[in-house]
Copies of this chain bind each other. A is one copy, B any other.
Amino acid sequence: MSDAPQRRYQDVAAELRQLIRAEGVQPGDRILTERQIALRLGVGRSLVRDAIIMLEVEGLVQVRQGSGVYLQEGAPDTATAPETEDDIGPFELLEARMVLESAVAGLAAATVTKADIIAMREALDDERRSITEGRDDYQSDQRFHLLIAEATQNGVLVKMVSDLWNLRNRSRMWAQLHSRIFDDTYRSRWLDDHQAILDALRARDCARARQAMRDHLGNVSETLMQLSDSEDPSFDGFLFSTARTARTL
């Protein structure tokens, strides 16, 4: 995707998370006031407000006017989950997609409607066109996967799949890996995978849909693995063997 330099409030949010952990704030407790934080981090208060809104949307804190900012009850330990902001490894992401999307595909096979099938077929036509025209565009790919989630009629599942794609689109490492794909052979293969998934959905065969999605993401993983440079210190392939995941699904 395009450039998009990080916005400053995101850095401040990261510092703020760290600060919350350092202060040993417990869930339900009040954290420092906006003014104190601004002073402490040496930034303006509006920047702190922006950062707090980010943490609020993420569900980490709760804001009450006239009272203060409170650490949300039941928030994951700030000590154990600091990687929200770190860049996410492609294979870590693929493993998560394998876990979620194959189960979603299985469910979708039980709930898919004729209209869903038609929309999916259009997405695949679009993808085929994209490949032959040499467009470097993953719109239709993403659209196909989202349509599967939408077929479950479950808004929460749609949001989760959508979130995963957002993570991918924002990942530095993924963009880096993606830039190495100069061969359209891969995309054709993935299109075949998609067709197989669609066929399974049309047949309303849950087990086959699940298996087809698993195979597809396994293929993607394999391709990316070949393209990866295992010498890169941030290479995370060895940690997330999709073979391991496939065995447990």
Interface residues of A (CB under 8 A from B): 1, 4, 7, 9, 27, 46, 49-50, 53-54, 56-59, 62-64, 72-74, 76, 80-81, 83-84, 86, 88, 92-93, 95-96, 99-100, 102-104, 106-107, 109-111, 138-139, 142-143, 146, 150, 153-160, 162-167, 169-170, 206, 210, 239-240, 244-245, 247-249
Question: A62–B138 Cα gap in the complex (Å)?
Answer: 18
Query: Chain B residues near A88 (CB, 8 Å)?
Result: 155-156
Asked if A99 and B110 make an inter-chain contact with CB atoms under 8 angstroms apart, the answer reads no
Asked if B206 and A73 make an inter-chain contact with CB atoms under 8 angstroms apart, the answer reads no
Query: Chain B residues near A100 (CB, 8 Å)?
Result: 99-100, 103, 160
Q: State how many angstroms separate the Cβ of A141 from the closest Cβ of chain B.
A: 9
Question: A84–B155 Cα gap in the complex (Å)?
Answer: 8
Question: A4–B70 Cα gap in the complex (Å)?
Answer: 11
- Asked if A109 meets B248 with Cβ closer than 8 Å, knowing A76-B162, A100-B99, A158-B81, the reply is yes
Asked if B96 and A1 make an inter-chain contact with CB atoms under 8 angstroms apart, the answer reads no
Asked if A245 and B107 make an inter-chain contact with CB atoms under 8 angstroms apart, the answer reads yes
Q: State how many angstroms separate the Cβ of A105 from the closest Cβ of chain B.
A: 9
Asked if B248 and A107 make an inter-chain contact with CB atoms under 8 angstroms apart, the answer reads yes
Number of copies of this protein chain within its complex: 2
Q: Which residue of the partner chain, among B73, B111, B159, B248, contacts A106 with CB atoms under 8 Å? A: B248
Question: A96–B99 Cα gap in the complex (Å)?
Answer: 13
Asked if B57 and A139 make an inter-chain contact with CB atoms under 8 angstroms apart, the answer reads no
Query: Chain B residues near A159 (CB, 8 Å)?
Result: 81, 84
Closest to A76 in B: B162
Asked if A160 and B160 make an inter-chain contact with CB atoms under 8 angstroms apart, the answer reads yes
Question: A125–B212 Cα gap in the complex (Å)?
Answer: 41
Q: State how many angstroms separate the Cβ of A199 from the closest Cβ of chain B.
A: 17
Asked if A150 and B80 make an inter-chain contact with CB atoms under 8 angstroms apart, the answer reads yes
- Asked if A92 meets B7 with Cβ closer than 8 Å, knowing A74-B169, A76-B162, A170-B59, the reply is no
Starting from the known contacts A74-B166, A156-B164, A206-B247, 13 additional A-B residue pairs (CB-CB under 8 Å) come to A57-B57, A57-B58, A59-B162, A59-B170, A76-B158, A76-B162, A81-B150, A92-B155, A95-B156, A96-B156, A103-B103, A107-B245, A110-B247
Which of A58, A96, A139 has the most chain B CB atoms inside 10 A of its CB?
A96
Q: State how many angstroms separate the Cβ of A112 from the closest Cβ of chain B.
A: 12
Q: Which residue of the partner chain, among B57, B62, B74, B142, contacts A142 with CB atoms under 8 Å? A: B74
